[in-house]
Chains A and B, each alone.
Chain A
Amino acid sequence: MLSRVADSLYWMSRYFERADNIARVIDATHSLMLSRVEVAADQRWYRALTTMGLKLDADNPDPQGAIRRLAADMTLRTSMMSCLGAARENASQVREEISSEMWEQLNRLHHEASALSLAVGDDESVMRLVTAVREGSYAFSGVSETTMTHGEGWRFVQLGKYTERACAVSLLLDAYFGANTQADDLDWIALLASCGAFDSYTKVFTADLQPDRVAELLLVYPEFPYSVRFSVERMYTALKAITAQGANRPRAQIGRIIGRLRSSLAFATVSELRAGDLHAFLNGVLDQCRAIHGAVHDAYIDYPVETAFEV
């Protein structure tokens, strides 16, 4: 496969996942915001918004404005609509590679969301936009899964999606667990909802909300699709197939990083992590995801001609 095509597939998928994550966080945050009377910059959900690349004025918090910008501001590169646009732009470069159903679904979602985002003003309009993106995103995931060939391109799609997800969930965990203020159930509900995890939590642990258990579900639980560990396992599957070919040195390097990341999650216990330095651990996850991204890019996308291996 052409390196450029693999790169576009990776970024299409990564940006799409990012837009979807933002939609989920806005949805959860909005619901929480309605239950809170006072607004303070050190609140967990407010910190969570800053993980999405939105600069907030700590002295003068404006949650509604922040959410509006995060959803629909096209001048903000990290906004949901910017990410959706970037996903579509990347998809348009590789229309031969993705299925026509995927392109149609992405296109339809883009047009629908663009129309809604022009009308964004009050809370209701933001929520209409967010709902449209979330629903469109489920449809896109389903269509991708069932219509695209699960070949080499698919692996780059998977790698992009789960790398993004592992990073996003780690950032959210860091925002919620790193705050110094007293947390209550509403905070944990917001965090779980930001990862679409509330139902799963009650199924696994009942409705008794314990911070350790929340962290366990989102960080190391192997069977929940939004846990960091689940995402890393999917990255591993994609990488195993991608690195079946290629030069030895980068393959070994990629294998080493993903192997270390997998085992650190497989053998971690949440109580130990929380007693120790959870922030450092989550940062470690992010660093290793970045390292994998860089190593794959250097070995498969933008390798120097002099060291390239000829087929």
Chain B
Amino acid sequence: MPIQSTVDVFSGYTLSDAFDEMFDGKAQPRRPYRKLHKELLKLTPEELLRSKQQADLTFFNQGITFTVYGRNEAIERIFPHDLLPRIVSAADWDVIERGLTQRITALNLFLKDIYHERKILDDRVIPGSVVYTCRHFRRQMSGVKVPRDVYVNVMGTDLVRLPDGRFVVLEDNLRVPSGVSYMLSSRKVMKQIFPTLFRKCGVRPIEQYSQALLSTLRALAPDGRPDPTVALLTPGVYNSAYYEHSFLARQMGIELVEGRDLVVHDNVVYMRTTRGLKRVHVIYRRVDDDFLDPLAFRVDSALGVPGLFSAYRAGNVTLANALGTGVADDKAIYAYVPSIIRYYLGEDPILDNVDTLLMTNDTHRAHVLDRLHEFVVKAVGESGGYGMLIGPHSSEEQRRTMRDCIVADPRNYIAQPVLALSTAPCLIEGNIEPRHVDLRPYVLYGEKVTIAPGGLTRVALRKGSLVVNSSQGGGSKDTWVLQT
């Protein structure tokens, strides 16, 4: 090994207690990373920076941006992207794939059950009070039959890797998970920048995701529709994920519609086209439950379609994901997912949960309130890193506020130990340094479960930070799942 080179790009690389994706405990590169490591040693910081600039330019030119709104002016920024791929071995991926398939299967059975017979509540596996108090529980969905009994058609599960190397589930995103366009775009850019390395490593393809998503959506058409019309419903150009909506609609060749493009007549949904009203059978909706139909949910929603829910109940249109899936990604329900898996499938969970303390439990609450600085506290119905307290990084003031919140509304909070997320090599100003990462694979479920081998690896680009959300200084990197 040429020693000068290691001094160059890896000189700032210090290992911590966290699992490092690239190096093992003896600072030797792990097997899946060996080829990448060897290639990196051949490169100078200047060459790396040049590649980085080339990648950023490609992102910008392709319009892969998200919009930041300021005073009167909307600024387009590229999504912060790290040049170095995150590599997942075939063996690790096998566990992830089986684990996620098991999880989405069980969660769907759970959703079907709680909106119909509620056996799991009768059998006292989960207290009814936890389910009924979920902010995203939709009583309107009781007794509604959804196509193929599949509620969650698109799932984006956040996985993290613990110091012992195990992948565990940090969060289930069962409503309208986003980010898949970054997965697809960053792969495209990486292939342009590292073609040789890419070939040498043997990376499993993810480009077929759009086809798989379209087949999933088509498989959900109301009965007897061989050639359904599918549309993607977006809140509109001012939504921060609008780029993704437009990207996916283009990739699938379906119409990108807003609420005002749709009309419901005699319980049938149509879109307004220049050639007249065209019936829509399946809607991949990227609008939250609350805003879908002002007649059924929030009356002040201007994004929705009056009468949509009634057409949905009548079975004339499919919404993907189904309404009311948010009950299953409530963070208090999350604590019960291992029991849910055992209850419906009679199997042990393949992917474990993170230990979670419910604040409704008096002993747990007292324990956590005494040691707030040691825990991560999360509001149960939130996502995107909002409503969260990271104990060790919090101020006395923040802890006091959180304590009051927990005491006032214990059902709304859970606590988890602070996790040492695994670290992966990232290019930071010409040097390679470790940063904490998670992994969000995308799971599709229509006729069958399909998982694109890869996902969005999110990076906390600030040194030492554990928060990977893009709204809070996070970035992303391409995820390479190896063939063998």
Contact = CB atoms under 8 A, between A and B. Distances in A.
A36 B278 CA distance: 60
A247 B278 CA distance: 14
B277 A305 contact: yes
Interface stretch (B35-43, B197-205, B249-257, B423-431): B249-257
Contact of B276 (A93, A96, A310): A310
Interface string A153-182: 000000000000000000000000000000
Nearest to A310: B277
B191 interface: no
Interface residues of A, number: 23
Interface stretch (B259-267, B376-384, B395-403): B259-267
A3 interface: yes
Contacts of B278: 310-311
A91 to B, nearest CB: 10
Contact of B246 (A96, A303, A308, A310): A96
Interface string A72-108: 0000000000000000000011011000100000000
A249 B271 CA distance: 22
A3 B246 contact: no
B273 A93 contact: no
Contacts of B257: 2
Contact of B272 (A3, A93, A96): A3
Nearest to B271: A2
A4 B258 contact: yes
A61 interface: no
Interface residues of B, number: 23
A92 B275 contact: no
A269 B201 CA distance: 77
A4 B63 contact: no
B274 A152 contact: yes
Interface in B240-297: 246, 249-250, 255-258, 260-261, 263, 265, 270-279
A311 B237 contact: no
Given A300-B274, A311-B275, A2 B261 contact: yes
A35 interface: no
Given A2-B255, A3-B272, A305-B265, A311 B246 contact: no
Interface string A294-311: 000000110101001111
Contacts of B258: 4
Contact of B260 (A4, A242, A311): A4
A153 to B, nearest CB: 9
Nearest to A111: B73
Nearest to B275: A245
Interface in B308-351: none
A1 interface: yes
Interface in B181-210: none
Interface in A263-311: 300-301, 303, 305, 308-311
Q: Which of B255, B258, B276, B278 has the most CB of A within 10 A?
A: B276
Nearest to B231: A2
10 contacts: A2-B274, A4-B261, A95-B237, A246-B275, A303-B272, A305-B270, A308-B270, A309-B276, A310-B276, A310-B279
Given A3-B261, A245-B274, A305-B270, 18 more contacts: A1-B275, A2-B261, A2-B273, A2-B274, A3-B274, A4-B258, A4-B260, A92-B237, A96-B246, A152-B274, A246-B275, A246-B276, A301-B274, A305-B263, A305-B265, A310-B270, A310-B278, A311-B277
Closest 9 CB pairs of A and B: A3-B272, A309-B276, A300-B274, A308-B277, A6-B274, A245-B275, A1-B274, A305-B265, A311-B278
